[in-house]
Structure 1
Amino acid sequence: MATPVVTKTAWKLQEIVAHASNVSSLVLGKASGRLLATGGDDCRVNLWSINKPNCIMSLTGHTSPVESVRLNTPEELIVAGSQSGSIRVWDLEAAKILRTLMGHKANICSLDFHPYGEFVASGSQDTNIKLWDIRRKGCVFRYRGHTQAVRCLRFSPDGKWLASAADDHTVKLWDLTAGKMMSEFPGHTGPVNVVEFHPNEYLLASGSSDRTIRFWDLEKFQVVSCIEGEPGPVRSVLFNPDGCCLYSGCQDSLRVYGWEPERCFDVVLVNWGKVADLAICNDQLIGVAFSQSNVSSYVVDLTRVTRTGTVAQDPVQDSRPLTEQSPNPNAPLRRIYERPSTTCSKPQRVKHNSESERRSPSSDDDRDERESQAEIQNAEDYNEIFQPKNSISRTPPRRSEPFPAPPEDDAATVKEAAKPSPAMDVQCAMPNLEVPVQPPVLTSTPTPKGEPAIIPATRNEPIGLKVSDFLPAVKIPQQAELLDEDAMSQIRKGHDTMCVVLTSRHKNLDTVRAVWTTSDIKTSVDSAVAINDLSVVVDLLNIVNQKASLWKLDLCTTVLPQIEKLLQSKYESYVQTGCTSLKLILQRFLPLITDILAAPPSVGVDISREERLHKCRLCYKQLKSITGLVRSKSSLSGRHGSAFRELHLLMAALD
């Protein structure tokens, strides 16, 4: 008898290089579960369709790293907040900037769209919460009460309340109509990272770095229960659409909780590290995580996960969508949100604990909006997702097609979840799947349809090399194991590619070295530049930077254009070398250049002085060209940011 194919409960879907620099924020579209927005230190917001390799759209306009992003419920608008405190709203269907909102004095840590009205809420490191009217570019209210950074904001399903979580260990509930705080929920002993409203009942969940999840009754304004013993800080939680349970994205696992009484229904092992956001579609939970410039997506099959006190239902016997399945009959039913049938009215302007900050649009706002762009990177995917199929409504991207699960490597590794015992207050069932230990390769789980697991965006591919050249063979379901000869040929393919690149680089360096031994350093640098390979220039500058006595004014005229290229490189080592060389030139030659250019003209003919003056003018022109680049990068965070800020101070003499 044939052995049935057993599919996995959780698997890695893909990994992409999302930005040219580090990813700083990301969010999933909650309506489709298939749209992903990422914000990066490169000041861009990029849009992706889950399980597709190419960027759909890239949004520009911010001049500092993007710290927070949020999609509205229909996935037609996106808002992004930056490190400088500016907020931009884009219309995705029209592919254009909609609004620029200025007013915060520090990083934007959290954002949320109102479910019905045209409003956006923003929370900042300046401890303020602001409610913005998108139509009029104005701040309707400023809510003050937190004493530290506001990490998460969520509107209630009926659009009447706003919940906020902050580093001051508190959760606050704000009444939008009255413009004041309704209640404060103390109890957490660490920063509160996330809050989430129950989809139907007057219930709020909050997750904290103190490794607890607390449930709050919004009628009695008191704690319902507390889940303790999370494996790490709680960063992402999500209620099931029918409200039967809460999902918590823990370190390398998904946990399923109930709250009356508090208990753990199930634990599913998922190698997603620090998962940043969760969404549900077609009985599948999608989780996304980021590390440096990479973003990874994962899938959990919820039909194989225990979500109530009873055993998980058979997907064949109960194929109704989640929104139609009956909730747990034993759970007490609280008051239900009354959702308006039309858009809600504009909040009244009152003075209770709030401050009106309505601004009139300025010419600076208009200029910012002209400089902000929505660049469509993939027209086919863009048209499929954002262009309406008819005059009534658009079709969400492939909502009817679940992601296919790869087959198990070994059916024996699948274990049934243990039934939780009601005698324990908080308990965790055995995981549905024991993930086998993987060898240290780039990917830990084969991806469906034979696609490579790491898919760099085309514009971010390293020069001369493809990541796929170094990937092991993708494992196709039900295919026999590769023979030793085949495995060796795959390894040799990447090895041969690397050898070709390194051999060419070594040959070019030998050429430069031969020139250096027969002539001066200036001629050898000229030969390196003529080869048109930045890696050779970097190798040479790393040597020259160690001996300042080798630098002359004519060498600066050759090196400065190359430094400008290095500072714009996506490779960290290139940027570091460029900063070192530029700092050396500024410290050693900038006083000389400014003095010579400021000196009165000489009387008579002095050939050497004229040549020196010409070189100084050329260096001055090249330095002025680099000034704007250094100024724009001085706002970056981290080591490079401090290096560019130091260079910016040194270049002040140019003005």
Structure 2
Amino acid sequence: MATPVVTKTAWKLQEIVAHASNVSSLVLGKASGRLLATGGDDCRVNLWSINKPNCIMSLTGHTSPVESVRLNTPEELIVAGSQSGSIRVWDLEAAKILRTLMGHKANICSLDFHPYGEFVASGSQDTNIKLWDIRRKGCVFRYRGHSQAVRCLRFSPDGKWLASAADDHTVKLWDLTAGKMMSEFPGHTGPVNVVEFHPNEYLLASGSSDRTIRFWDLEKFQVVSCIEGEPGPVRSVLFNPDGCCLYSGCQDSLRVYGWEPERCFDVVLVSWGKVADLAVCNDQLIGVAFSQSNVSSYVVDLTRVTRTGTVAQDPVQDSRPLAQQPPPPSAPLRRIYERPSTACGKPQRVKQNSESERRSPSSEDDRDERESRAEIQNAEEYNEIFQPKNSISRTPPRRSEPFPAPPEDDTATAKEAAKPSPPTDSQFPVPNLEVLPRPLVGTPTPAPKAEPAIIPATRNEPIGLKASDFLPAVKIPQQAELVDEDAMSQIRKGHDTMCVVLTSRHKNLDTVRAVWTTGDIKTSVDSAVAINDLSVVVDLLNIVNQKASLWKLDLCTTVLPQIEKLLQSKYESYVQTGCTSLKLILQRFLPLITDILAAPPSVGVDISREERLLKCRLCYKQLKSISGLVKSKSGLSGRHGSAFRELHLLMASLD
């Protein structure tokens, strides 16, 4: 008797090597869910068809890493922004560069296409939002209001509004016609990473690093509900096409939410790590994630997911009954968007003060466009997806059948689906295996390579500690395979050293904790510094960074020399902590320090003022010392370069 085939609820579809260096950004085409664009530290934008192994097209022209990419709704245009602040728009059907847009002074963090007109919005680390007319190659308007990097931009479905999310913990809504801010939505206590409009109703969702998702009524301009307790920072959300629920891509899981009242309909385990983007097509949710130069795609069968009604009794179980299809949504509680039948008119132009908005296309821009290329890598797939514009219809794989799931009991099929596809083009080499998780058993050891400048932090690993740092180097013949006994023998060689280090660290942390219980934060930090163990300082700063109110001016004088050491560390976690602490100090105390130092001398004796003045002078001297280091590292690529560039902007007043 044949065994019935049981399909999966979620499965890994594919893993590809997307770039010759680290992937820095990616986006899915929302209309099809089948088109994927990736941006890399190699300054390229590559185009892929989901579940196909080969690159369709490679777009060149940027001279710095690509930080943000976005496809327009018909998936005919793509826009990419770089670390240098430049923006390039390509016509995918014509396979050529369309526009080069210059004007931002720092990283492009977010981009979005207007749903009806030929406009692009860009958000940058320079805190500005710009609206570009890509037909006329010019900036239509600049929106000012955020005080930190703008992480996400979204146009409303009717094309009248623009929502922005930023590191300053706020969400803002802009009226494109009036050229001004309509409303600001406070409430998040951490950087806001993503915003998304409801497809039909006047409703906006925002996700933040404070692990909450907030829903905002766009008629009353107030919060509707707040979902708390997300397992990590919220970076990717998506409304179901009919608006019945919201999907949140969490760490290794998909959560399905309702908002009136706030509730969780379902939780689906998906081993995608930190998912970067989501799309829905053919009753399947597609999720994509990246790590180093690899990009992985995953599928969730939405016919097996509860999207309305009550919360599933045990959503974590692998074998649960099929959820019934969600019923047609009832009458909306809010106003519905009125979509125009024709392309929208150009937004009203108001008085401009920036030179970048008055500048005309230059010969330098023309040269940039001549040097930009759209190289077709796979002509067959390109012709299938991007037919000539005068064709009656485009029939790319966007409307093909749903992705088939491997049977749960067919392990060979499942492994084959999860296996990376080898690139066929020589420009996409195999990634550096030195930075990937290293198998312990049964795998040949790769040849040793030069140590990277920054050692990547690993999830669930003690801050500042890596087992490989304490293991002696063992030379093994390239072809020899390790047996279990040999592998365990290697691990034991470093075990005693690791135990000594961890025991010493635990003792030091107990010493600091004893002081911490007295409530004297300054003395606690002094004791951690006196121990002369940077790992203890990092652990303590990670706690203090969570509550900005703990920071005082005298604490800065102690911490700043330690921050300088952390910024020069080879450990990624140390650098991250140092950047976070320095950013807090600059935001809270730099205006105070500069004001006190610039104030005229007081008449008479004011001991408290003199003490504060001495502390400000010491902090200023320390910050000046650090500013040179920050400036030298602001040219790095990747997220470290982004962090240092942001710090460099914050420290501009020191000059």
With the shorter chain as reference, the TM-score category is 0.5 to 0.7
Matched, 1:414 2:414: yes
Q: Secondary structure at the residue paired with 1:460?
A: coil
Report how many residues are paired.
655
Instruction: Measure the CA separation in 1 of the matches of 2:417 and 2:191.
Output: 33
Instruction: Measure the CA separation in 2 of the matches of 1:61 and 1:217.
Output: 41
Does the CA-based 8 Å contact 1:554-1:615 persist in structure 2? yes
Does the CA-based 8 Å contact 1:53-1:456 persist in structure 2? no
Query: Which residue of structure 1 lines up, in the alignment, with residue 241 of structure 2?
Result: 241
Please say which of residues 358-367 and 527-536 is displaced more in the overlay.
527-536
1:361 deviates by 1.0
Instruction: Measure the CA separation in 2 of the matches of 1:561 and 1:190.
Output: 26
Q: 1:507 to 1:355 in 2, by over 3 A?
A: closer
Instruction: Measure the CA separation in 2 of the matches of 1:463 and 1:13.
Output: 33
Query: Which residue of structure 1 lines up, in the alignment, with residue 24 of structure 2?
Result: 24
For structure 2, list consecutive stretches of 5 or more residues without a partner in the other structure. Answer: none
Query: Which residue of structure 1 lines up, in the alignment, with residue 625 of structure 2?
Result: 625
Q: Secondary structure at the residue paired with 1:518?
A: coil
Does the CA-based 8 Å contact 1:278-1:285 persist in structure 2? yes
Please say which of residues 116-125 and 592-601 is displaced more in the overlay.
592-601
Q: Secondary structure at the residue paired with 1:415?
A: helix
Instruction: Measure the CA separation in 2 of the matches of 1:66 and 1:14.
Output: 23
Q: 1:313 to 1:57 in 2, by over 3 A?
A: farther
1:65 deviates by 0.4
Larger radius of gyration: 1
Instruction: Measure the CA separation in 2 of the matches of 1:510 and 1:170.
Output: 38
Instruction: Measure the CA separation in 2 of the matches of 1:193 and 1:472.
Output: 42
- Measured against aligned partners, the alpha-carbon deviations of 1:264-322 in whole angstroms (never above 9, x if no partner) come to 00000000000000000000000000011110000000000000006999999999999
Instruction: Measure the CA separation in 2 of the matches of 1:575 and 1:445.
Output: 29
Instruction: Measure the CA separation in 2 of the matches of 1:315 and 1:427.
Output: 43
- Measured against aligned partners, the alpha-carbon deviations of 1:141-170 in whole angstroms (never above 9, x if no partner) come to 000000000000000000000000000000
Instruction: Measure the CA separation in 2 of the matches of 1:271 and 1:336.
Output: 36
- Measured against aligned partners, the alpha-carbon deviations of 1:216-257 in whole angstroms (never above 9, x if no partner) come to 000000000000000000000000000000000000000000
1:357 deviates by 1.6
Q: 1:348 to 1:486 in 2, by over 3 A?
A: same
Instruction: Measure the CA separation in 1 of the matches of 2:568 and 2:265.
Output: 51
1:190 deviates by 0.1
1:400 deviates by 2.6
Instruction: Measure the CA separation in 2 of the matches of 1:407 and 1:619.
Output: 62
- Measured against aligned partners, the alpha-carbon deviations of 1:458-485 in whole angstroms (never above 9, x if no partner) come to 9999999999999999999999999999
Please say which of residues 553-562 and 447-456 is displaced more in the overlay.
553-562
- Measured against aligned partners, the alpha-carbon deviations of 1:14-63 in whole angstroms (never above 9, x if no partner) come to 11110111100000000110000000000000000001111110000000
Instruction: Measure the CA separation in 2 of the matches of 1:190 and 1:541.
Output: 17
Please say which of residues 115-124 and 301-310 is displaced more in the overlay.
301-310
Q: 1:497 to 1:319 in 2, by over 3 A?
A: closer
Instruction: Measure the CA separation in 2 of the matches of 1:524 and 1:329.
Output: 56
Instruction: Measure the CA separation in 1 of the matches of 2:473 and 2:312.
Output: 36
Q: 1:443 to 1:339 in 2, by over 3 A?
A: farther
TM-score calculated relative to the size of structure 2: 0.63
Q: 1:363 to 1:229 in 2, by over 3 A?
A: same
Q: 1:133 to 1:508 in 2, by over 3 A?
A: same
Q: Secondary structure at the residue paired with 1:195?
A: strand
Q: 1:310 to 1:102 in 2, by over 3 A?
A: same
1:639 deviates by 11
Q: Secondary structure at the residue paired with 2:70?
A: strand
Q: 1:282 to 1:654 in 2, by over 3 A?
A: closer
Please say which of residues 472-481 and 321-330 is displaced more in the overlay.
472-481
1:348 deviates by 1.1
Does the CA-based 8 Å contact 2:109-2:152 persist in structure 1? yes
Instruction: Measure the CA separation in 1 of the matches of 2:555 and 2:189.
Output: 59
1:393 deviates by 2.7
1:491 deviates by 22
Q: 1:542 to 1:241 in 2, by over 3 A?
A: closer
Does the CA-based 8 Å contact 2:173-2:182 persist in structure 1? yes
Does the CA-based 8 Å contact 2:273-2:289 persist in structure 1? yes
Query: Which residue of structure 1 lines up, in the alignment, with residue 441 of structure 2?
Result: 441
Instruction: Measure the CA separation in 2 of the matches of 1:462 and 1:378.
Output: 44
1:358 deviates by 3.9
1:351 deviates by 4.0
1:539 deviates by 38
Q: 1:26 to 1:415 in 2, by over 3 A?
A: closer
Q: 1:491 to 1:288 in 2, by over 3 A?
A: farther
Query: Which residue of structure 2 lines up, in the alignment, with residue 48 of structure 1?
Result: 48
1:333 deviates by 2.5
1:334 deviates by 1.1
> How do 1:632-651 residues align onto structure 2 when only pairs under 5 Å count?
635-637=635-637
Instruction: Measure the CA separation in 2 of the matches of 1:372 and 1:466.
Output: 42
Does the CA-based 8 Å contact 2:77-2:92 persist in structure 1? yes
Instruction: Measure the CA separation in 1 of the matches of 2:57 and 2:377.
Output: 5
Does the CA-based 8 Å contact 2:407-2:413 persist in structure 1? no
Please say which of residues 14-23 and 530-539 is displaced more in the overlay.
530-539
Q: 1:108 to 1:483 in 2, by over 3 A?
A: closer
Does the CA-based 8 Å contact 1:179-1:354 persist in structure 2? no
1:418 deviates by 29
- RMSD between superposed Cα atoms in Å: 15.9
